[in-house]
Homo-oligomer: A and B are copies of this chain.
Amino acid sequence: MSKPVTRREFLNLIAATSGTAAVLGITSALGMIPSSTQASVPDLLKLSNQKRKAVILGAGISGLTVAYELTKAGYDCTVLEASHRAGGRVFTVRAGTLIDEIGNPQYCDWDDEPHLYFNAGAARIPSTHSNVLHYCKELGVELEMFINENKAAWIQDDNIMGGKPIRNRELSTNVRGFMAELMAKAMKDGELDEPFSDDEAEIVMNMIRSFGDLNSDFKYTGSDRAGYASGDYVTHTTQHEMIKMRDLLKASALRQVVTDNEGETGPMLMQAVGGNDRIPYGFVNQIEDKIKFRAMVTAINLKEKGVTVQYDYDGERHTIEADYCFNSIPTHFMAGIEHNLPDDYAKDMKYIRRGVAMKGAFQAKERFWEKEGIYGGITWTNQPIRQIWYPAHGIHKQKGVILAAYDYGNGMPYTRLKQEERIEMMLAQGEKVHPDYRQHCEKGITIAWHRMNHMLGCSARWRVQTPEEERIFNNLQSSVNGTYWCIGDQISHHTAWMESAMQSAHFALADLDQRVRAEVANA
């Protein structure tokens, strides 16, 4: 059945695996790291006597950023938001929150305590997201550490170890042992393009041994790093038996575990204390009087100079005139809005697809994961729930809220299920990881972003890679007549992040500012 990999087969393998380059590309994109540690906030020309009016469509992160910065610069801003709340996909669920999923609305009935919340949308803030951090500082949003990677959490996969959960550290330690043996073998075979001196080779060999915890013969025979089978700090210990690579390689989380992504999914991340909606509401606190909630845009009419926007509010149609319009409405909603944007622009908007995403959460009557030695981090499973996240805040309190499902991008058959069926599915799948899961978990909530009111999709789904995509991106990123800008993470190289929404807002603001400064200079 099994046979050695020959050189020829290896070359075939390269061809075969190249087919997965797209998938690998996504992995790589997850590690995107902006080059600057400085925020990109443009230094807008402060308006004095002449009033300029801006209408901003959508009170998500990009719309709020534009409204906040323009207000500071002396512009007269109005934000029209279709839903009852600000933040868009930055959405925190806690006691009393309405989840307005179409066909499946829920009110959250968890205990009313500050640590019992769930970030149903944006959850993680990398230290490379300078603009998010800049605004948190400026708006007084307190931050704390978020734990993404925890080797004490579980890997449960029906395809390995008979479906029995093992600690992440068991998987990663054994895989690293295998990897290190491979490296040592390659060093031994001595066919390196640039050979090392003896001293250099010794350093490399020591590094390899240390990487995989190999023995003095450069063999992996198990490692303390996988955790002890028995013993502690005052008695002798015994190691777990090593697990062979063959027995682990069907784990769907394998690449996830070994890749150790830097950047947005690295181990070092942050969250806003009390829930990430503190960030949009940090903006709202500054410009509350500028925002109209439950205002549904029906028409955008660009004029020779300025723009007219119509919207429905409180059962009536209203009209607003402005000099500028910043539109963060998801492009796939624009088909239902009357507008006179240029044909090519309207066509390009349609190119952008939206992703699907499902999250679920429970209130846990007891923080059972802490009894298992888990403080924050993620359990990976090959079941449809895919992930379980444990909170790194509220340590040792009685209750906690855990993420019980997080699936993005797949068909997600269970968004078609009734709410009770979704809950049952989360319980049944969680039980494979934590045997007492069902008795601890209560008051489950779920959210299917592709069915959420005023959203009907998770993040925009496209990549700026082909020349055609670049043309589309540049077209949508550019203003129409210096009057209208499309904004949001949907107009970025890296959708689904607050940072992208802010940078997109800044890009549009900088463009506006350049035009205003030119006008003022020519006046």
The residues of A with any CB-CB pair to B shorter than 8 Å are 1-7, 9-10, 13-14, 16-18, 20-21, 24, 27-29, 31-37, 40, 127-128, 130, 133, 136-137, 142-147, 149-152, 169, 172-173, 175-176, 179, 182-183, 185-192, 194-198, 200-211, 213, 216-218, 223-237, 244-246, 249-250, 254-255, 258-263, 266-268, 270, 370-377, 392, 395-396, 464, 477, 491-494, 497, 499-500, 503-504, 506-507
Contacts and interface: CB of A to CB of B under 8 A. Distances in A.
Contact of A190 (B10, B18, B200, B235): B10
A260 B223 CA distance: 13
Nearest to A213: B28
Contact of A36 (B40, B186, B218, B232): B232
A512 B494 CA distance: 62
Contact of A200 (B2, B37, B464): B2
A144 B143 contact: no
27 contacts: A2-B195, A2-B196, A13-B202, A24-B206, A31-B224, A33-B224, A34-B231, A34-B232, A35-B232, A128-B227, A142-B395, A143-B375, A144-B145, A173-B262, A182-B183, A194-B244, A200-B246, A204-B249, A210-B255, A211-B255, A224-B263, A234-B503, A235-B493, A236-B493, A267-B267, A268-B375, A268-B377
A268 B268 contact: no
A220 B127 CA distance: 26
Given A149-B268, A503-B232, A246 B206 contact: no
Nearest to A18: B216
Contacts of A136: 396
Given A14-B216, A17-B202, A233-B494, 18 more contacts: A3-B195, A5-B188, A16-B202, A17-B206, A20-B206, A29-B224, A32-B224, A145-B145, A176-B260, A185-B191, A186-B189, A189-B189, A196-B246, A200-B249, A207-B255, A207-B258, A211-B258, A225-B263
A507 B235 CA distance: 9
Contact of A24 (B210, B249, B268, B477): B210
Given A28-B224, A228-B33, A373-B127, A392 B145 contact: yes
Contacts of A2: 194-197, 200
A35 B229 contact: yes
Contacts of A224: 28-29, 31-33, 263
Closest 8 CB pairs of A and B: A37-B373, A145-B145, A267-B267, A4-B195, A35-B228, A182-B186, A186-B186, A185-B186
A390 B246 CA distance: 41
B395 A10 contact: no
A506 B233 CA distance: 11
A228 B10 contact: no
A375 B24 contact: no
A17 to B, nearest CB: 5
A24 B209 contact: yes
A186 B212 CA distance: 16
Given A1-B197, A10-B188, A197-B1, A32 B151 contact: no
Contacts of A1: 197
Contact of A151 (B144, B186, B206, B266): B266
